Amino acid sequence: MIEITIKRPDDWHVHLRDGAMMNAVLPYTARQFHRAIIMPNLNKPITTPRMANEYKKRILNSLEVHAENYEFMPLMTCYLTDETSGAIISEGFKGGHFFAAKLYPANATTNSSMGVTDIKKLSSVFSVMEQLGMPLLIHGEVSDSSIDIFDREYVFIKKILIPLIKEFPKLKIVLEHITTKEAVEFVRLNRKQVSATITAHHLIINRTSIFEGGINPHRYCLPIPKREVHRLSLREAATSGDLCFFLGTDTAPHRINDKESSCGCAGIFTAVNALELYTQVFEEEKALANFEKFASLNGSAFYGLKANEDKVILIKEKWHVPGLIPVSDGSSIIPYKAGETLDWKMKP
């Protein structure tokens, strides 16, 4: 039997949601990963240390009830708004309540209406973060409706990010869920200061995949998948083993009715099969030897944490992805590649 053993990975970008939805999805993330950075874009965003603490308690409580067998550590983030102050950031980071802060340009993605309207408003916050050594996680898309949706990452890099790193050269930045070759190049060029997460789905689908045989809402996420040339560049970056690229699933569950709708939500749910999807990509790229770097070593090194001690094993064995994941409120979630067969399976 073919199998690979790697140190337990961490997921550096996860949406756990809250309540019944969290209870349904958390066991899947906790089964595969030891630590995860928890995105703060709840319906009511996490903007204060107290909110982060309460949310963390709800996560740990859900873990105890629904996934007691897993050791899992949520790392909490602060949702930046126009009103965020340096004092709140400093209090939250020093007190261990915030691990990082997340910048959503206002209206760029799901639950981002309270995001930042003008990055200049946050200059004093970035100065404080720079001094504290607190990482800034960025949803790197402009939300200007006049910019073509497929160009929004590239325009963000050019107009916002390049000036930002010049102004705050010591600010540690993660460009989240990158989707373009320009982002890959930007990160490599500025690797002393910037790293990037890469999702499994952006390594697998391109923009044409969304329309294969008809419009498929379960392949719709933001940033939107781009042309094939970009997918190939992401595959090269992820599988290179390069320190500045690491795993972040951006698993983003939505109820089936919110996806299969006249105005469907953005987000792909990969918590069920994330490691298996990534392993397949690394195998196809003949880069299984670099998988541990991308999944388990590069991210913790960037964040100044130790790699995990325990291991996970992936076996080359076919299995079927469940068709849907039930939520206790009667709704359900359709996972990415629902009902399809995968070649790799994480050992239980």
Work out what residue 217 binds among Zn ion, ligand NCD, none; the CB cut-off runs from 5 to 8 Å by kind: none
Closer residue to Zn ion (CB): 26 or 287: 26
CB 72 within 8 A of CB 34: yes
45 binds ligand NCD (CB under 6 A): no
CB under 6 A: which stretch of 108-116, 276-284, 286-294, 326-334 binds ligand NCD?
108-116
The C-alpha torsion from 181 through 183 and 185 to 189, rounded to 10°, is 180
Q: Which of 252, 274, 312, 321 binds ligand NCD (CB under 6 A)?
A: 252
Closest listed residue to residue 80, CA positions, set 31, 29, 117, 37: 117
102 scored as a contact of ligand NCD (CB under 6 A): no
Distances, alpha carbon 336 to alpha carbons 107, 123, 216, 221, 322, in Å:
24, 38, 11, 11, 9
110 counts as binding ligand NCD under rule CB under 6 A? yes
- The answer to whether residue 15 forms part of the interface with ligand NCD (CB under 6 A) is yes
Between 46 and 312, whose beta carbon lies closer to ligand NCD?
Answer: 46
Give CA–CA dist 329/346, Å, rounded.
29
Single residue of 153, 242, 250, 276 touching Zn ion by CB under 5 A: 250
From the list Zn ion, ligand NCD, none, pick the one residue 109 interacts with, judged by a Cβ distance below 5 to 8 Å according to partner type: ligand NCD
Check binding of 109 to ligand NCD (CB under 6 A): yes
Segment interacting with Zn ion (CB under 5 A) among 210-218, 244-252, 295-303, 306-314: 244-252
Among residues 40 and 49, whose Cβ is nearest to ligand NCD? Answer: 40
Our CA angle for 190, 196, 201, nearest 5°, is 145
Residue 222 contacts ligand NCD per CB under 6 A: yes
What does the alpha-carbon distance between residue 8 and residue 6 come to, in Å, rounded to a whole number? Answer: 6
> Alpha-carbon distance 257 to 203, whole Å?
26
Question: Is 343 assigned a catalytic role?
Answer: no
Q: Concatenated DSSP letters for 205-257?
A: --GGGGGTTS--GGG--SSPP--HHHHHHHHHHHHT--TTEEE---B----HH
Spatial contact of 234 and 179, defined as CB atoms under 8 Å apart: yes
* Contact characters 111-150, ligand NCD, x per CB under 6 A: x---------------------------x-----------
Residue 100 CB, shortest distance to Zn ion, in Å, is 13
251 contacts ligand NCD (rule: CB under 6 A) = no
Annotated active-site residue in 10, 11, 242, 250 = 250
Report the C-alpha gap between 195 and 191 in whole angstroms: 6
Q: What is the DSSP letter of 76?
A: E
- Provide the token pair at 243: 């320190």
Footprint on this chain of Zn ion (rule: CB under 5 A):
250
Return residues touching ligand NCD (CB under 6 A). 15, 41, 109-111, 139, 221-222, 250, 252, 266-267
Residues with a catalytic annotation lie at 250
